[in-house]
Structure 1
Amino acid sequence: LFIMESGPEWLSEEVKTGTTIIAVEFDGGVVLGSDSRVSAGEKVVNRVMNKLSPLHDKIYCALSGSAADAQTIAEIVNYQLDVHSIEIGEDPQVRSAATLVKNISYKYKEELSAHLIVAGWDRRDGGQVFATLNGLLTRQPFAVGGSGSWYVYGFVDAEYRKGMSKQECQQFVVNTLSLAMNRDGSSGGVAYMVTIEADHTEEKVILGNELPTFFDQ
């Protein structure tokens, strides 16, 4: 006699790796942002996950893909950067953090499903944004990722301007997240934002009813 044991229905469903993440450079620092929704199949399993994870004091990463995989990479890199910082006797460079993320993502590309954007500030190069995907590592003035990014590529390409102020970059991030969360069913919840400068790091939560609205909302 066979008895089939099955867990909750959502455990057997394909996990959607939907999210929206963004980071942008300004003169003196960076702004990172993300939505907060975690999905499994058609169900929302976490409405308020903070996908902006600190790698060091002035370096954060934005997580997309499998939540478990992305968080594991962030935790490993956080530990390695702490060790590296002690060895060199100073804060690590943003490029070093991005390179560690890239190396792990490439080494375990068959086992892990995650895409991280690394951004932060260091004394050598100021504010920097790095996109990492498998073996790819590129510095960009801004980067977007996750399923929601497909809905806003036209918006960010049209709205981004070189030399934007900190406040303009913050509004750029909030507007992008709001549009993506409205269009993408796998993005939603609240918006998390981190602003990193030489002498200050600010974390902020923008509730759903505080996000800007657009013509079709």
Structure 2
Amino acid sequence: MYDIEQDKIYYKNHIESPKRLFLYESLNLDSFRENRKFAFDRTKSFKQKFIDIISQNIKNEDYIVYEADIKTFIHLLENQNDVNILILIMDRYLRQVNNMYQFNFGPIIMRSLHHINLPNEAIEIYKKLTRVFDNFASLMIFFDLLYKNKQFDDMLNLFLYKDINKNSSRLISAICGSNLEQNLSKNTETMIDVIFSSNFQYIPRRAIIFLFKFALNHQNFNLMQRLSTYDNPRIMKQDQVVNFKILTILEIEPVEKVFIYIQNIIDNLDQYDIGTIQVYSDVMQHLQIKSYLDGKESTEKLEKIKPYITCLPETFGQILTTPIEYIREKRIKTNQNQNKSLVDILNNLQKNENHVPGFCFENVSRNETFKEAKLKSVKTGTTIVGIIFKGGIILGADTRATNGPIVADKNCEKIHYISDYIYCCGAGTAADAEMTTELISSKMQLMQLTWKKKPYVSAACRQIRQELFKHMGYISAAFILGGVDNKGSHLYRISPHGSVCNMQFAAMG
């Protein structure tokens, strides 16, 4: 049975936990939760029977596996036994379609395993059905699941297991950013070779910072030497990377090399889009001592570049000893505080709704700000909306028909009559929308004469989507169809190619 309280706890823990690789929304787990709840509600009276029938039939070589059954079964996964059955189902399905499948099952399988938190089962199914997960979306969810459970060695082994894209920045970042050196020590050289073999293409800042930090903390001079030659404008403009590289060069090279490196940044300040070079106080002190010991010439060079350097009050040693997870947790708490302040603002606005009647000048300062900012006018097109309420449906649309930057018609009719209790809003090419709705209105009248009763809203929706799909996008119009029949109120959002969403509210343009 679907446990909504357990689902809420999972959602809350995943949102608040700093130990995750990707944002919750980017993995599309919230949408999966809704689909999973729907699958449980739909099969609550026969769920176990459905699983038993599939597990029995899969033993029969003549049994045909359908995509719809696989999707439902994936949403019902709960334990190791269900995963074993899923492996058999997917293996049969892949042989059945000769590996020429159209629907991508990889992400949805990984979302289900992520939701019920089965990392070891995810590794097993990945190794047995690798071709199903040959896409970056599946790997995102898979590695996030392993990262959440601190299985860092498994992440590195799987990264080297098959032909995963070695330039996948977030996956490399997952391996490097774990910040658990005791787990990575035996695989460090392998990890470094993988990153350097990619020529630093698409390597994220978090991975580069980890390598600098690892080299300095462990006095790994070989890695320092390799990092000192690294130069990438996208990364090198970052303050922490700049400070790491200065320290690294000071450890293994003459101080003259530091001046060459800093001068290169100064010459490209416009390219890096930064005002000055941010250097931490202890790094600056280290540079001054090295310059003094090197002689008068180095001291003079340091004085020349000082106007381009901003000395920060913080010490870089704190960053060298601070775990990355603590920094991420602190950043998340800061974001939560920002959200709280936003809630306070909204609450204050709600309190001010019951204001005393009279003149209101609260927008004067806002308007003056807009005037000083010289905001450009925003190009707008058609806007159509619809919403269902208890007693029926409300449809709305603007009345302007445009021809590029010109308003061709200030009073264009965009809410079209379909039948007595069915209307349709059209956006796009005005002529296409009008001719299509007139055609559908005529068909609805013929249906009413044939059936001897008022047509259903779903019938009008089907006629519109068939007409749009038949022309494969050449009818340049999108619709919001709303109406009331003996089954209740209905609202449909129909895109130009014929796809449909049944919603409680909709907006298009």
Maintained 8 Å contact 2:384/2:508: yes
Question: 2:453 aligns to what?
Answer: 90
- The secondary structure found in structure 2 opposite 1:105 is helix
Equivalent residue runs for 1:23-42 within 5 Å: 23-42=386-405
Question: 1:176 aligns to what?
Answer: none
Maintained 8 Å contact 2:464/2:498: no
Query: What residue ranges of structure 2 are gaps of 5+ in the alignment?
Result: 1-378
Tell me which of 131, 144, 147 is aligned to 2:493: 131
Question: 1:10 aligns to what?
Answer: none
Distance, in Å, in 1 between the alignment partners of 2:466 and 2:391 is 27
Question: 1:74 aligns to what?
Answer: 437
Matched, 1:43 2:406: yes
Structure 1's 110 and 141: CA in aligned 2 closer, same or farther, altered over 3 A?
Answer: closer
Normalised TM-score (structure 2) = 0.25
Distance, in Å, in 2 between the alignment partners of 1:122 and 1:73 is 22
- The amino acid that maps onto 1:127 is S
Normalised TM-score (structure 1) = 0.58
Tell me which of 469, 476, 501 is aligned to 1:113: 476
- The secondary structure found in structure 2 opposite 1:19 is coil
- The answer to which structure has the higher strand fraction is 1
Q: Which has the larger radius of gyration?
A: 2
Matched, 1:22 2:380: no
CA deviation profile, 1:7-48 (whole Å, cap 9, x unmatched): xxxxxxxxx992000010112310000000110011000001
Distance, in Å, in 1 between the alignment partners of 2:412 and 2:431 is 12
Q: CA deviation at 1:109?
A: 2.5
Maintained 8 Å contact 1:17/1:39: no
- The amino acid that maps onto 2:477 is A
- The secondary structure found in structure 1 opposite 2:387 is strand
Structure 1's 109 and 17: CA in aligned 2 closer, same or farther, altered over 3 A?
Answer: farther
- The secondary structure found in structure 2 opposite 1:120 is strand
Structure 1's 136 and 110: CA in aligned 2 closer, same or farther, altered over 3 A?
Answer: closer
If asked which structure has higher relative contact order (CA below 8 Å, sep 6+), I would say 1
Q: CA deviation at 1:135?
A: 2.6
- The amino acid that maps onto 1:39 is T
Query: What residue ranges of structure 1 are gaps of 5+ in the alignment?
Result: 1-15, 147-217
Equivalent residue runs for 1:1-217 within 5 Å: 18-124=381-487, 126-133=488-495, 134-146=497-509
- The answer to which structure has the higher helix fraction is 2
Distance, in Å, in 2 between the alignment partners of 1:119 and 1:86 is 21
Alignment RMSD: 1.5
- Pairs aligned (count): 130
- The secondary structure found in structure 1 opposite 2:467 is helix
Structure 1's 23 and 62: CA in aligned 2 closer, same or farther, altered over 3 A?
Answer: same
